[in-house]
Amino acid sequence: GPGPFPGLIDLYGSGGGLVEYRASLLASRGFVTLALAYMAFEDLPFTPETLELGYFEEAVNFLRKQQQVKDTGIGVLGLSKGADLALSMATFLPGIKAAVSISGSSFNSFIPLKGDGFTLPAHPYDLGRMKTSEETGLIDFSDVVDDHMDPATWNCRIPLERSLAKFLFLSGLDDRNWKSQLYCQDVVQRLQQHGREVEFCSYSGAGHLLEPPYLPLCQASIHRVLGMFVHWGGQWREHAKAQEDAWRRIQAFFWQHL
């Protein structure tokens, strides 16, 4: 039909590039979806020194101007690094009504985010703490990031409690990339302390790359930017079930709030 339809911005992780298959599937379910590249694509830097909040604001404004898009607010969903960018957009940009974090964190990870009159620094990390499996040669990044409970890192936190958006957090208990379950629990508790209702679901046996259903589990792959084979985690059956459930939850969440 002619619409108008809910508008979504879709963000993938620090591997960069333009990833469109999830956006295409969401479009087939009735959402006008903009798959947004922000690094390692065409003229975008492979490893940017900073990310500009204004770049993401431009994408929101572009989407809101489309005739097919409902004027009730925009949704944003992100995976991994894209998840914390989605949360930052929901916190700092007007017009974001709902945000989904998949295997993400509540702090700004790896690349400083520059806004209007402020810079959110990157959460401290040390690549010297990455572990290599002697059996498989795969890299485990789960201990690279500094302790998120250390007050010395709190200036990197995204102040989500300022946002008026609704939030859905999804994570796998077998995430080998980083401790997304702990990060989700931390931000959910923080929001609940501010009287906010938050949706949160964690999945036993699910890894980092929670994708749309029926896509095969990717337990390990080469990271485009790092150039290393990374262990993402996940058990076949449990991960498949998690992807089915997460996909239903994501669509229901956006239909409810947009």
At residue 255, the pLDDT reads 97
Active-site option among 80, 163, 171, 180: 80
Cα dihedral: 38, 44, 49, 52 (round 10): -50
pLDDT at residue 250, as a whole number: 98
d(C-alpha 138, C-alpha 30), whole Å:
39
**Helix (H, G, I), strand (E, B), or coil: what is residue 54?**
helix
pLDDT at 144: 87
The pLDDT of residue 139: 85
Told to judge if 80 belongs to the known catalytic residues of this protein, a careful annotator would answer yes
pLDDT at 115: 96
Told to judge if 175 belongs to the known catalytic residues of this protein, a careful annotator would answer yes
160/104 Cα distance (integer angstroms): 14
pLDDT of residue 205: 97
**Within 10 Å of residue 120's Cβ, how many Cβ atoms?**
24
As a dihedral over the C-alpha atoms of residue 127, residue 82, residue 194, residue 246, rounded to 10 degrees, the angle is -110
Please give the model's pTM, rounded to 2 decimal places. 0.95
- How high is the pLDDT of residue 228? 83
Q: CB of 116 within 8 A of CB of 56?
A: no
Characterize the bridge pairing of strands 131-132 and 139-140.
antiparallel
Spot the catalytic one: 84, 140, 174, 175.
Answer: 175
Helices (H) and strands (E) in the chain, counts: 5, 13
- pLDDT number for residue 198: 93
Strand order through the sheet with 139-140: 131-132, 139-140, 229-231, 220-222
Per-residue pLDDT of the chain (258 residues; tens, 9 = 90+): 888 999 999 999 988 999 999 999 999 999 999 999 999 999 999 989 999 999 999 999 999 999 999 998 999 999 999 999 999 999 999 999 999 999 999 999 999 999 999 999 999 988 889 888 888 888 888 888 999 999 999 999 999 999 999 999 999 999 988 899 999 999 999 999 999 989 999 999 999 999 999 999 999 998 877 788 888 999 999 999 999 999 999 999 999 999
Q: Which of 123, 148, 208, 231 is catalytic?
A: 208
95 CB contacts (<8 Å, ≥6 apart)? 60, 64, 73, 74
Contact predicate 224/192, CB 8 Å: no
- The closest alpha carbon to 17, from 79, 90, 64, 74, belongs to 79
Domains of the chain: 5-257 (3.40.50.1820)
- Cα separations (Å) of 180 from 58, 63, 64, 66, 206? 29, 29, 31, 34, 11
CB atoms within 10 A of CB 165: 22
Catalytic, 208? Answer: yes
